[in-house]
Amino acid sequence: MPFDNALFTIPILTGLIFVMVGIIMLKFPPKKINGLYGYRTSNSMKNKERWSFAQKYSAKEFIKLGFLLALSGLIGLFIHPSENIATFMGLGLMTTAVILLIVRVEKAIKERFGDH
C-alpha cells in the first residue's frame, strides 16, 4: 500500500495543503499587514505595496509548488525504501518546497522593489 510509504504520503498530503493554502490566500488575501495571516517576512511587511504583492505572488507559488510536491510523491509508488529513509526523503521534499517558496518570493520582492 502506498499509504505505508512516507515518501508517498508526506509529499502528497503536504502538496495538497500547499494547494489549498494557495487557493485560500488567492481568494481571500489579507488586506492589512498583520502578524497572523499571510506571507510574513520583514521584507514583505515593509509597506502595503510589498505586502499586497507578496500575498498574491506567494499564493501562486504555493499552488505551483503544491502540485510539484504532490507529483513528486508519486515516486513513493515505485520506490519502497526503509521507513526511516522514506520519512527522511519525504521530509526532505517538503523542506525543499518551503525553502523554494521563500527564496522565490523574496527574490521576486527584491526584483520588483529593490533592497529598500
Which amino acid, one-letter code, is at 19? V
Question: What is the predicted pLDDT for the residue at 3?
Answer: 79
Residues of the chain with pLDDT under 70: 1-2, 116
* Angle at 105 (CA atoms; ends 19, 112), nearest 5 degrees: 135
- Neighbouring CB atoms inside 10 A of 72's CB total 22
Burial class (CB in 10 A: 0-12, 13-18, 19+), 36: exposed
What does the pLDDT look like over 56-67, one tens digit per residue? Answer: 999 999 999 999
Print the domain residue range for 21: 2-113
- Neighbouring CB atoms inside 10 A of 66's CB total 23
Question: What is the predicted pLDDT for the residue at 63?
Answer: 98
Question: What is the predicted pLDDT for the residue at 35?
Answer: 85
Question: What is the predicted pLDDT for the residue at 28?
Answer: 95
Question: What is the predicted pLDDT for the residue at 4?
Answer: 87
Instruction: Name the domain count of the chain.
Output: 1
- Cα 78 to Cα 58: distance, rounded to the nearest angstrom: 31
Within the chain, strands assigned E span none
- Cα 83 to Cα 67: distance, rounded to the nearest angstrom: 24
What the block records as the C-alpha cell of 102 is 521563500
Confidence (pTM): 0.91
